[in-house]
Structure 1
């Protein structure tokens, strides 16, 4: 099995090289991944989605299947824990881990706060670069923390793993770098406060992408660009996320009649295949859950806010859709307005957006943090202006 793992590791390494996924400015990452491969931090039982549920893939029973869960593709996470039928922990995709650590601009000697230890692989790679005793990692799950401690020790790495809720527990001293491995809807100001002026945070935002934030010299804000797209586990301390898929929509929709019906002069296909559009809608209407489906009439969509407002857009087969809405807000109209605004802005991709975090809140901006369009956390467009 060792030789099979070595072959799969080499294959994934070459695939990332062919795609240009090994960052030229951080050659240490390729060396670190080779020295600390993902399988050293994987439990003997992984979980695979079979189309209906997550089923176990045990190393002793199905070693080849287990190995493929880790090295089958560079953009796939390996699920390690399921809670209530949904993934609650994973070994993040190798390509995503490399991209985020590249965005961190990590140097030897930096003190690092790794948030969301999981199995310890991210902390291990950071420690390989920063040095012994330079990484502290927090994990809310005692079982995961214990597992990570064992794997880190077996790899000969000196990393402090603390069982704590990272939104309420801070390192004893300011850190140079902070990296989170789960998504937050709002970046806690406490995280910014824990990083020294001139330091950097890399944080998954909204389960759709990650942002790199540089802390201002006066420590009054942190600001930076969206770095990449990927889906992340949600912050498990922030309360339950809206139920996924059509079940979540049905729970909000209920059985009452639609309050509004109108025709939308728009082909909905980009909702299914344009990540640029999906990201822009995420920025403008951050609480909208969007689900799509395709039949002979084209792409249809269903959206809700996880509370009481919903909309269904049924493809008409002629490039239009009929929209039905209900609830206290017209969330379907909000999405259509945001879609039109994105087109008016030239259909920017996610890398044209950035974020600024201040003690009193955060906002996303496009093109320029001072003079560009900006969206508050609630999705409202705010005018540009000087930093406060």
Structure 2
């Protein structure tokens, strides 16, 4: 973090907090490592060095702390993202804070250290995780009120709050979050599993708007975790409707985070996976329902598109890509979000919340 200049200058308290409340104090004695085929346990008692390697794998690496049915369901978020989101929160001493998604309690401890003892409420859906977090927080001498509940409902008994921060990704902003924040207060949340936004609640409390703050991948709300079909399932539902050349180089789809974010905004239901073979870069695309496309490298710098289902996903992808270029290829920090009308109207916009192009959040 020091070498990369990743500690935010305006939030020096975060560096002090991480030093005082190091990550390993909130890591369970069993964490999980991906061995290329499955998640395998790494226990502190049997392999303390391996355990430490997982907890401190690097600023950009999350530590998987819970696996359910072979898939990760909780983690200690990577330190760089934790720091970035806390910086975006603009938290000051004396602020009342609501955290949604306690996990192992590390974020809650950092919030408490900044806001002051007893001013942070944290809501966790998993009772076992909530109890684990309570024990870790108590051992660290931290006073956080950890409640078991649905984070999307916020926590009304202690409202209103000056700040709300979520540690899991949502597609739409729950209106309860806006209702429970004071006018002028701030909401920081991962959106769309790809980035995080910081919204300011309007003076009349009837809307919230703000800018995208950063790019990272987050676990979704537990109710949607693993609920959608994968490419193979969608592909099995229809045969390709012919083939056509796809003339655009696919490398930016892999390498340009700003393009990827713009496509996520314009085509929120598309799921895109990429892999390279001897012929070049390939893409598998589906909408988690009935439509799919494969962009297949065939050698010699050529790519062909196969599509099936009611939608033409390769064509939609190319059209959204063209629109982004026509708009001057805005980067992810040029995008923002507005939530209004009791949460029924939510949209992303670019460059200007009033006059810029906008896309509904569905």
What TM bracket, shorter-length normalisation? over 0.9
- Corresponding residue for residue 236 of structure 1: 222
Contact between 1:174 and 1:196, CA under 8 Å: does it hold in 2? yes
- Corresponding residue for residue 307 of structure 2: 325
How far, CA to CA, are the matches of 1:371 and 1:312 in structure 2?
36
How far, CA to CA, are the matches of 2:285 and 2:163 in structure 1?
37
Q: Output aligned runs, 1:128-147, within 5 Å.
A: 128-147=113-132
- Cα deviation, residue 295, structure 1: 1.5
1:372 is aligned, of 349, 356, 359, to 356
- Cα deviation, residue 168, structure 1: 3.0
- Corresponding residue for residue 266 of structure 1: 248
Aligned in 2, Cα 1:134/1:191: closer, same or farther, shift over 3 Å? same
State the SS of the aligned residue for 1:72.
coil
- Corresponding residue for residue 179 of structure 2: 193
1:361 aligns with 2:345: yes
Contact between 1:265 and 1:319, CA under 8 Å: does it hold in 2? no
- Cα deviation, residue 169, structure 1: 4.8
- Cα deviation, residue 317, structure 1: 2.8
How many pairs were matched up? 359
1:313 aligns with 2:299: no
How far, CA to CA, are the matches of 1:200 and 1:106 in structure 2?
9
> With structure 1 as the length reference, what TM-score do the two structures score?
0.90
Structure 2: where are the runs of 5+ without partners?
none
For structure 1, which segment, 248-257 or 227-236, has the greater mean C-alpha deviation from structure 2 after superposition?
A: 248-257
Aligned in 2, Cα 1:255/1:110: closer, same or farther, shift over 3 Å? closer
Aligned in 2, Cα 1:169/1:372: closer, same or farther, shift over 3 Å? closer
Q: Output aligned runs, 1:201-280, within 5 Å.
A: 201-238=187-224, 240-243=226-229, 248-254=230-236, 256-280=238-262
Contact between 1:123 and 1:159, CA under 8 Å: does it hold in 2? yes
- Cα deviation, residue 332, structure 1: 2.0
For structure 1, which segment, 339-348 or 138-147, has the greater mean C-alpha deviation from structure 2 after superposition?
A: 339-348
- Corresponding residue for residue 334 of structure 1: 316
How far, CA to CA, are the matches of 1:331 and 1:303 in structure 2?
7
- Cα deviation, residue 256, structure 1: 4.1
Aligned Cα RMSD in Å? Answer: 1.3
- Cα deviation, residue 255, structure 1: 6.3
- Corresponding residue for residue 150 of structure 2: 165
Structure 1: where are the runs of 5+ without partners?
1-15, 379-388
1:151 aligns with 2:133: no
How far, CA to CA, are the matches of 2:123 and 2:186 in structure 1?
18
> With structure 2 as the length reference, what TM-score do the two structures score?
0.96
State the SS of the aligned residue for 2:10.
coil
How far, CA to CA, are the matches of 2:98 and 2:348 in structure 1?
24
Contact between 2:347 and 2:360, CA under 8 Å: does it hold in 1? yes
Q: Deviations over 1:279-318 (max 9, x none)?
A: 1110110010001111122111110011111111112334
- Cα deviation, residue 230, structure 1: 0.8
Q: Output aligned runs, 1:344-359, within 5 Å.
A: 344-358=326-340, 359=342
Contact between 1:152 and 1:159, CA under 8 Å: does it hold in 2? yes
- Cα deviation, residue 84, structure 1: 2.2
Contact between 2:130 and 2:147, CA under 8 Å: does it hold in 1? yes
Aligned in 2, Cα 1:305/1:255: closer, same or farther, shift over 3 Å? closer
